[in-house]
Amino acid sequence: MTDLTKLTLAEARDGLAKGDYTSVELTQAHLKSMEAHRNLNAYITETPDKAIEMAKVSDAKRAKGDAGNMEGLPIAVKDLFCTEGVQTTAASHILEGFKPEYESTVTSKLFDNGAVMLGKANLDEFAMGSANTSSYYGNVINPWKGKDGKNLVPGGSSGGSAAAVAGGMALAATGTDTGGSIRQPASYCGIVGLKPTYGRCSRWGVVAFASSLDQAGPMTKTVRDAAIMLGSMAGHDAKDSTSAPMAVPDFEAALTGDIRGMKIGIPKEYRVDGMPEEISKLWENGVAMLRDAGAEVVDVTLPHTKYALGTYYIVAPAEASSNLARYDGLRYGQRVMDEGDSLDDMYSKSRAAGFGKEVQRRIMIGTYVLSAGYYDAYYNKALKVRRRIYEDFANAFGKVDAILAPTAPSAAFAIGENEDDPVKMYLNDVFTVPASLAGLPGLSLPAGLSSEGLPLGLQLIGKPFDEETVLRVGGVLESAANFTAKPFGQEG
Would you call 447 helix, strand, or coil by DSSP? strand
The three-class DSSP label of residue 172 is: strand
Q: Is 111 helix (H, G, I), strand (E, B) or coil?
A: helix
**Dihedrals phi, psi of 175, to nearest 5 degrees:** -135, 170
Catalytic annotation on 130?
no
CB 452 within 8 A of CB 477: no
- The residue type of 156 is G
3-class secondary structure, 433: helix
Query: C-alpha angle 83/439/130, rounded to 5°?
Result: 65
Distances (CA, A) of 163 to 40, 141, 221: 8, 7, 11
Cα–Cα distance, 359 to 361 (Å, whole number): 5
Residues in the chain: 492
Out of 181, 202, 436, 444, pick the active-site residue: 181
* Residue 78 falls in the annotated catalytic set: yes
Contact yes or no for 210/436 (Cβ under 8 A): no
Residue 278, SS3 per DSSP: helix
The single residue of 157, 158, 202, 321 carrying the catalytic annotation is 157
Q: Among this protein's residues, is 381 annotated catalytic?
A: no
Question: What is each CA distance from 138 to 11, 38, 78, 181, in whole angstroms?
Answer: 33, 12, 15, 18
Catalytic residue among 33, 78, 109, 135: 78
Active site residues: 78, 157, 181
